[in-house]
Amino acid sequence: MTDLEPLEPLDPFEPLFNPFAPGYTDNPYPSYSRLRAEEPVHEHPFGFWVLSRHDDVSALLRSGNSVDYRNADEGSAARLQADAMIEAAGPATGDTIDAYGMSMLDRDPPDHTRLRGLVAKVFTPRSVAALEPFITELVDASLDRLADAGTTDLIEAVAFPIPFAVISRMLGIPETDHARIRELSGLLVRTLEPIGDPDLLQEINRARLEMQDVVRELIGFKRANPGEDLLTALIAAEEDGDRLSDEELVAQVVLLYVAGHETTVNLIGNGTLALLRAPAELAKLRQSPELAANAVEEMLRYDSPVQQSRRIILDSYEVRGRAIPKGAFVIAGLASANRDEAYWGPDAGEFRVERSGARNHVAFGGGPHHCLGAALARLEARVAVERMAARFPGLELAGEPVWNGRINLRGLSELPVKVG
């Protein structure tokens, strides 16, 4: 299947990469195609670079270039955004260390290695696999709600509640103020988007501080009520010595909380939409449920829940004969790489649940920052897709899906479906 969304012909006089163009966030794929074909190593007039081909994106992520924005060129947009965040977050917390950029996602080795090692020790394949019965119960309860409603929004009924409940359970925290946490987390992930508006920057910073307070409170609760969970284990790591500071503990928990659901919602939502738009693929899945795991890889490839990673070049870096200078900010186009015809072949734009090698996508990034939650996301999506396909043979779209308007964590805010 090809993209069935309306494709406006691209204006040849438009800049090659303009994520603010009308319609871009609904369907960025024509823009990616043009980048790959015309300038796969693109220097944007604003001074940053965009890579869009699979091999280049994958090599950059494995290259050991930086994720710490403080390594970006003085005066660059990336650096200005980071400085504004740091300034607003630092003094307000009353700490000498800035609370911005303390999570592993924003750190380079040796801090990255230490932080990731501590979290990975408790976020193990075994602890993820053990969640399958709980996830199955959750999925079935969500599908019951879908069945009762007949016609409803799949994001509200299925895609959001599952990952949110799972990460809360893993961390061992009560599913407290859902609506507020969802709102705060929705604001926090905006830091992964370009932010031009100073008011929005302030709003995000307020959300960051409030989220930190929520997490501090949860840590207090956990200290008093330890259990067999991730948060108890991380607190133990902090108490064991000085390997994890208090600020760092808060930052890793916020990261897990937010990364644990914002992205997986997009996977279940975007992936279900792809299936509904390709009824023959849905039928294959129903006939052969063992295809579900590969179908999830294809969903990750075909419409990636995280569209970009970002890196700062630490030393001059050459791609396809072009030198990207030290300090430059580079966007690694994950979703574009996942549609690169030169890598996937001429059917890269089609959704095929049996695609061989689908797992070679870069939807979870690559290199040292490769997604720590990949196994959990895969498990949640696999159970959801398997049981949904089996239970609702006539599942179909009941209206126009609504995109969330995000450039990076691009997903659906509404997916109206009818169980048929």
Binding site for ligand HEM (CB under 6 A): 67, 104-105, 116, 167, 255-256, 259-260, 263-264, 267, 305-306, 309, 363-365, 369, 371-373, 376-377
- Shortest CB 248 distance to ligand HEM, Å: 13
Nearer to ligand HEM by Cβ, of 65 and 419: the residue is 65
Contacts of 287 by beta carbon, 8 Å cutoff, 6+ apart: none
Query: Is the separation of the CB atoms in 380 and 134 below 8 Å?
Result: no
50 beta partners = 42, 331
State the DSSP code for 73. P
- For residue 360 the two structure tokens come to 């070679």
Nearer to ligand HEM by Cβ, of 162 and 204: the residue is 162
Q: What is the largest CA-CA distance in the chain?
A: 62
Nearer to ligand HEM by Cβ, of 32 and 419: the residue is 32
Nearer to ligand HEM by Cβ, of 192 and 285: the residue is 192
Query: Is the separation of the CB atoms in 308 and 331 below 8 Å?
Result: yes
- Strand, helix or coil for residue 308: strand
Nearer to ligand HEM by Cβ, of 67 and 274: the residue is 67
Nearer to ligand HEM by Cβ, of 387 and 419: the residue is 387
Query: Is the separation of the CB atoms in 84 and 126 below 8 Å?
Result: no
Query: Is the separation of the CB atoms in 287 and 393 below 8 Å?
Result: no
Please state, in angstroms and rounded to a whole number, the distance separating the CA atoms of residues 230 and 167: 10
319 beta partners = 322
Nearer to ligand HEM by Cβ, of 82 and 255: the residue is 255
Residue nearest to ligand HEM (CB): 373
- Shortest CB 189 distance to ligand HEM, Å: 11
Nearer to ligand HEM by Cβ, of 104 and 118: the residue is 104
Please state, in angstroms and rounded to a whole number, the distance separating the CA atoms of residues 249 and 234: 7
- Shortest CB 258 distance to ligand HEM, Å: 9
Query: Is the separation of the CB atoms in 318 and 43 below 8 Å?
Result: no
Which of 202-216 are b and which e, b meaning 16 or more Cβ less than 10 Å from the residue's Cβ? Answer: eebbebbbbbbebbe
- Shortest CB 128 distance to ligand HEM, Å: 9
- Strand, helix or coil for residue 412: strand
- Shortest CB 264 distance to ligand HEM, Å: 4
- Shortest CB 210 distance to ligand HEM, Å: 21
- Shortest CB 346 distance to ligand HEM, Å: 25
- Shortest CB 150 distance to ligand HEM, Å: 28
Please state, in angstroms and rounded to a whole number, the distance separating the CA atoms of residues 134 and 75: 49
